[in-house]
Structure 1
């Protein structure tokens, strides 16, 4: 069970852990380019007893380019269906499991795939592309809902970046001018690679946030090779300390939508750590050479906008950091270096980052 998505809230939808199994054998037209995975997805709908249930609610998962949803379950449910067992065909499609031996070896996750009762109409879209969406319509019930999908992932990818979103529709009096709120979030799912993973669910380390450690987004500019190496050392120190660090050099073995990656990474973080440097300062002052450090400029503008809209919340979440050899003069003025605390790291150790660790160790920022 991979717990990476567990506890992520998308409005009225809350994600739970995924079960991921590597499939073998796979069709010849697949094996040359992709690895195949059977994924069991779990999510909750927050339906309160004292208010009307939403008319519909949906959950959507987007995968990196080059990844394909070969099939999904449920595909289309028009009325209440009973619990049933499914299996996969040789072409990796879901079908009802019949009595007797199947094509998969006994004990394989693909041999018998149990699915629960479906009480509402379910519409599925995205099969054959790089996303999947399940919309539940009418008679929504609370509790955990389960779905399944077969993912084709390029060979060599060990972790999959997923962007999730949840949406729902709730009738409210027009005069209140209210509308339901959904949101996007991102997480990374580890993919099993060892042969033994074909025989049992993937066992991975639980998401650090379940132990109370913070989620951190490192925002920095690629000034030069030495600065990038220093940021890498800082990242390694934070990871060893126990933080869940969102860092642009991780997960580069698959294509990435940088806009989504940056925005969801910032919004789901407990703290954002802007790293002081000449190029980062230049990004904040619109003084960058044309075409250079565009990612740092994009990140800075998002953070400045959040500070403008929700200053109290984001002043607590944005913690400017000065690495060895850098200066407080390189902190963007939007982050108020003269009146708001910044953190000087003298070495990549708990003592060298004492003030920063004290804040991070206190848990998540308010808000």
Structure 2
């Protein structure tokens, strides 16, 4: 059995309104993302293109389990990070879809890409995709699938499957993974529960794959599917004005996610106690773009007129942005002031040049309203001002 029976990540909601320093937030578990049996097949015929390595075709099975009566899941993401090895994911399916897609079959090329076929020679079968699915994994050491509900009805619980081609050093007998799950639910206005990402680690045996049916990589001239192209990573900088504003920011992040971007936001970060200024510096430097969400507090902090000692998060993030911008003025093209419903252009900090550079007014949280922003992101060449980690 690979991985072990019962390997899963719980879907956890945290009672934000009940947070206390001495007791911590109350948590509610309402479901899980559970792994099923994985099928690992050795790949023959690929070592000529990848000497010194072994290739494995892996079918990943997982279930979305949601308790009866739980709120609808607007989207959920399952991700796998390779741990403690020189292995790499070199191809993945499903490759991504913005809407429903029919079932598709593939065979494996000697370049370790999935090539679509329409005959019985296929080794890989991907079932129909009912709604948008986005995939992230251009780096090769991680792969993530994001399932989005069509409309607001919620992602359907049930079984899902995916495929990867795993390339490992020759002779490696086990591969460790870190499984992570994130999600967003449909809340009633005024509810104080928020989702928290969770993760766990497991390993699969590569020796056992020798007892599975081998897959023969074939010569073929047709174009194949490997890893997806890099999805622009957008760090969202915003002030925690109130619950209404924070919900709009979360909905804005969801909208970017549903349109194939990779938004990063401070809420729901998993892990130990965090040094937030270090976290902000790392996230900002690793991002392709920074979306600064306009608001009165954001403007006051950015302009140096805020008089309180609180708002540590926005003060830390804007401080990092301002310092990097002073050192790299050309980076200004990658700073995107965004005005969400309920705020105005007057709420953009002056150092972001609201009157002399573009800003992005989003009058409603719909795809149509962010088209100009999406076009800017997709047409702007990658930032080359500092070395990426």
TM-score range, shorter chain: 0.3 to 0.5
How does the TM-score come out when normalised to structure 2?
A: 0.45
Q: Which structure has more strand as a fraction of its residues?
A: 2
How does the TM-score come out when normalised to structure 1?
A: 0.48
